[in-house]
Structure formats: structure tokens, C-alpha cells
Copies of this chain bind each other. A is one copy, B any other.
């Protein structure tokens, strides 16, 4: 039985405190691109290893660096001057017996595939250079992973680390998350191809006023001139407002590209739909947490989940587990209004046995009456950890 604490959240709900800050970096943000490529590579490696070894072998590809290019965007279409460069880094077993496994090729192909699907205005052949800088890592770990995966032993924590999660989202959190999802949806893009994928949303609630600031890259070839830009920005502003206002009863204001200087025609247009084309660099783990948001008024882990191996890497699986745990507790126990979960591992111990599992709840009624239910859910979620890797391979979590 794990060391599970269940306690009370004593402070006022974040949504009732005077101020609240929430941020989300959308699909085309340089940090999000790094997260996505790291995680896609982990999935591709996991699949390769399952084919070759019948099990997921050791890998950890949770570091990447995107070096922005140089671009010359123009209304009706500009051009790229220097390409974006992306370094994909980490450890991955690259041999099976004497057979060399194509892990570097996999990194390149996986990155190109994701970019092609998700940043369609980026020419993956000519405008981005993928540098696969993977190293083999220790061969000793092969055996360890075989034990986990082939013989069914419970994986051991790779590190002393922790994960955190909470549920449910406040209004501002919901707005920020849903708004980016809407603006980056295939349906919206079909009608509004001028909206690039690099959309960063900051939501600040000051008492009952929610101020949504959106930095959104326009795609230059779909914008004719400054007049057209202003009109299109207006269209998106109205659309965003309609979505946001549907999600809250509070007052909402929407601001898009507030740094634009319309008179000098200095506005946020790009060739590719991402600021990565011109100077904005990115890294893994510098953007959204596993729930898709950055929330300074909530507990956060600094661990980058993306790219870590899904079998035993605490920084990945404890964050999603804590999120799942919080969501289940809120969903399944009527009296619970809000849940925060914290999990801390001890290196070398089974992942199902954290040092601490700390659950804090906002309860309508008596905590003691539901404590057992909470502990049961928590324990169940811990017990499920050895098979969590399947969820990562199925892209079950938001993760970034």
C-alpha cells in the first residue's frame, strides 16, 4: 500500500481569487514544436523497439533545440532566407546484436512527418534542417527494460522526481485551452487559411474581467495588404470572442497582436505560420504542462514529459498519473469540487510505490466520509502505472 496522504485545500478557489493567470502555447509555437517532435520521436522509437525486441527499450529524447531561421515575409507571399534548424537530442539504443537500427533516420522522418501535417505552410525539404544528435546510451539498460516489458516486472523509478495534477479547469483555463484548439482546428483553418499555427494565448482574469491576449502569426500569402490584414484580424477577434464568451459568464476582452503598428505596416505576418522562421527559438519543456496549460496559480512540475520514455520515466508518467488521478476523483466522487495531486518517486523503487502521494481536496461536506474512496482511486491509478505506456503510444494525453 502506497504512502497516500489525503488532505484539504484550504485556500479560496483560484477562480474566486482576485487574479488568475493562464497561458497556452499553440501548435506552431517553437517550444510546442520541440515538445511535439520529442514526443513523436519517443513514440516512433517505442514502436520500433516493440517490433525489433518485442518490448520498449531504454530511450530518453526529452531535449531538443529549435534555432529560428531568417525570413522576409511580405503581403501576398514572402520568402525564407535561412532555414530553421532543429536539434533532436537524447539517448536511444541503436543496435540489436550486430544490426544497426535506424534511429537517426527515424528522428528525421518522424519530425518531417509531424511538421508536414501540423505546419502545412512550412516546406519541410528546404525550410527546416533536422539534426538527429542521438547517442546510444548504456547497453546495461537493455536487460533492465527486457525485464520490465517481457517478464512483466514492475518498472523501477529512473529518478527521484515528482509529478503534479489538478482538476477541474477554471473558466479562464478552459477558455485559453479551447480557444487555441479552435483557432488551430482543421475546420477553422479551412475557412481561414491565413491563420498560422503559432498562436500563443495569455488569459488574465482581474476580478470579473478576463483579458485574452493572443499572439497569432498570419500566413503572408493569404493576406493581400495591410487593409486585408486589419479586416482578417477583426474577423478572428470576433470569432475568438464568440468562443470565449460561450465558456464564461464573466466579461471577456480579446486582443490580437497588440504590438502591431498598422500605420507603418509592421504587423505579425509570416511565410510559414510560425515565428520559428525568424528568430524565435524553442526548447522542449519550456511550454505547456501535460494538461496543455501554464498556470502559475496552480502547482506545476518543471519536468518535460515530452520525449521521456513512457515505461519508467517519472517526470513523464507521474505528471499524467497525477492529472488522471485528480480528474477521476473529481469526476467520480460527487462531494469533491476540486483536487490537487502530488506524486514523488524514489529512484530504484517500483514506480507503483511513490515516496509520497499527496491528495488535496476541496470537499462539499466531510472529508472523512470520502477518504476511503479517494484512496481507492489513488491506489488504482498507481496500480495502473505499469501499463501507462500504452496510453502514450496511443497519444491519449494532451501532454503539451
On A, residues with C-beta under 8 Å from B are: 3, 5, 7, 9-12, 17-19, 21, 23, 63-65, 67-68, 70, 72, 79-83, 85, 87, 89-91, 98-102, 104-105, 108-109, 112, 124-127, 129-133, 135, 137-139, 160-162, 164, 202, 204, 206, 211, 213, 215, 258-259, 279, 281-287, 294, 296-297, 299-302, 304, 342, 344, 346-348, 355-356, 358
List 26 A-B pairs, Cβ < 8 Å: A7-B17, A10-B10, A10-B12, A11-B11, A19-B344, A21-B344, A65-B65, A65-B87, A67-B89, A67-B133, A79-B105, A81-B104, A89-B281, A90-B281, A91-B279, A108-B126, A125-B125, A129-B130, A129-B131, A135-B279, A213-B346, A215-B347, A259-B347, A286-B286, A286-B304, A287-B302
Chain B's closest residue to A304 (CB) is B286
Query: A283 to nearest B CB, angstroms?
Result: 5
Query: A73 to nearest B CB, angstroms?
Result: 12
Contact for A126 among B23, B112, B301, CB less than 8 A: B112
CA distance A18 to B356 in the complex (A): 10
Asked, given contacts A19-B356, A281-B90, whether A104 binds B83 with beta carbons under 8 Å apart, the answer is yes
Query: A7 to nearest B CB, angstroms?
Result: 6
Chain B's closest residue to A289 (CB) is B302
Query: A16 to nearest B CB, angstroms?
Result: 10
Chain B's closest residue to A6 (CB) is B18
Query: A252 to nearest B CB, angstroms?
Result: 15
Residues of B within 8 A of A23 (CB): 162
Contact for A5 among B19, B258, B287, CB less than 8 A: B19
Query: A382 to nearest B CB, angstroms?
Result: 16
Query: A10 to nearest B CB, angstroms?
Result: 4
Whether A302 contacts B283 by the Cβ 8 Å rule is: no
Query: A65 to nearest B CB, angstroms?
Result: 4
Residues of B within 8 A of A259 (CB): 347-348
Query: A137 to nearest B CB, angstroms?
Result: 6
User: Number of copies of this chain in the oligomer?
Assistant: 4
Residues of B within 8 A of A126 (CB): 105, 108-109, 112
Chain B's closest residue to A201 (CB) is B160
Residues of B within 8 A of A131 (CB): 129
Query: A115 to nearest B CB, angstroms?
Result: 10
Whether B65 contacts A296 by the Cβ 8 Å rule is: no
Residues of B within 8 A of A356 (CB): 19, 21, 204, 206
Residues of B within 8 A of A296 (CB): 162, 164, 299-301, 342
Asked, given contacts A89-B65, A129-B131, whether A160 binds B213 with beta carbons under 8 Å apart, the answer is yes
Residues of B within 8 A of A67 (CB): 63, 87, 89, 133, 135
Most buried by B among A259, A302, A348: A302
CA distance A281 to B135 in the complex (A): 11
Query: A9 to nearest B CB, angstroms?
Result: 7
CA distance A299 to B164 in the complex (A): 13
CA distance A304 to B9 in the complex (A): 29
Query: A116 to nearest B CB, angstroms?
Result: 9
Residues of B within 8 A of A358 (CB): 18-19
CA distance A87 to B356 in the complex (A): 37
Whether A9 contacts B11 by the Cβ 8 Å rule is: yes
Residues of B within 8 A of A132 (CB): 82-83
CA distance A224 to B162 in the complex (A): 35
CA distance A132 to B83 in the complex (A): 9
Whether B12 contacts A18 by the Cβ 8 Å rule is: no
